[in-house]
Amino acid sequence: MEAASSTSSFIATSNRGFSLYAQDEIRRLFPGAKCTELSRDEVFLVRLPIAREAAIARMTGLQEPIFVRHLQPVDFERNNIQSGEQADDTMQDALEALPRFRHGAKLALQLRKQEGLELSAELSELRQTAADRLNARDGIVSVARDSDLILSMFWTADSLYAGVSAPEHNLSDWSGGAIRFQREENQISRAKFKLLEAEQEFELHFEAYEFALDIGAAPGGWTSLLLERGMRVTAVDPGEMHPSLLHNPQLTILRKNAGDVSFPAGAFDLLVCDMSWSPRQMAKLLMPLLDSLRTGGTAIVTLKLMHGKPFQTVKDTSREFAAQLELVRAKQLFHNRDEVTLFLLKR
């Protein structure tokens, strides 16, 4: 039997502008890791001095990176692709080299390419071609969501990287970690997508909460989602809330600064905050309100990254909260921009 490889390779993706931080996390987790940028400040190739299974376990475990948004294992690598060579041919090489799939397996095909690269066919066409061939060969069922396995391919100007993995091993089961939500008619703001993504990423069930406190709520993007989930919401912000929310019987609006309100101890089981303040000022405003969150309650807080030291910013802020809040995870979500979302629990 062929011995398992003691090395592994992955395609990793971060939010645009945060690739260097993501690479730094990889090197901290895996001393000796080699990173090569593939798409400008967003996608990079990772070579690790550790076997694939061990690498996945470390990156998806308690030490999951903050800035690595998505992983694609590399089980097949075709280099030295010549100019003009058909993408369909290189893809067929990968399909023939990868193991056969269990008959009837549900497979998500996630095909991506280097920024600005022109292939001989559109990715949608290549995806359909691969699905047809694998259906004929292995009887696979091509699906977009809730798959058994993911087949990933990434083209550069001279290489193709392909791999097969379980969805939970990719950090995100969306292609490149680019999770998409349907914009709704009359949606108050796109900020709602951040909280929707946090709900999925942190495996929360907002329907299970009863009383929510939204600090820095205006114009009400996050408040609207909490109301949709059936909560009674107290929204605090000196700014105006969206007119569609004003007469909701489940909503109490306090047009005040966060520093000018107080609530009974344990009044809420969920606290959310998406204020555009510096991390230090945000923590200063939240600290006096944390007694209103019941023991075991959840806090979802966005942390603005303003000074180019994101790891220190997360560490300093979690230390500020440490007496009352335990940091469960910090993650830069796809819908975050220059910020990180914190998931905390009340001690």
Residue 269 has φ and ψ, to the nearest 5°, of: -110, 0
- 202 SS3 class: coil
Question: Positive or negative CA dihedral for 118, 21, 145, 168?
Answer: positive
Q: What are residue 344's DSSP bridge partners?
A: 299, 327
Alpha carbons 37 and 89: distance in angstroms, whole number: 25
Sequence-distant (6+) residues with CB within 8 A of 102 are 138, 148
Structure-block tokens of residue 345:
């629990």
Q: How many CB atoms lie within 10 A of CB 255?
A: 13
Q: Is 113 a catalytic residue?
A: no
List of long-range contacts for 228-234, beta carbons under 8 Å, 24+ apart: 231/206, 231/270, 234/263, 234/268
Helix (H) or strand (E) holding 151: strand 149-155
Q: What are residue 165's DSSP bridge partners?
A: 150
Residue 270 has φ and ψ, to the nearest 5°, of: -145, 130
Residue tagged active-site, from 194, 304, 331, 346:
304
- 191 SS3 class: helix
Residue with tokens 């059936």: 230
Alpha carbons 248 and 225: distance in angstroms, whole number: 13
**Residues annotated as catalytic (active site), given as ranges:** 304
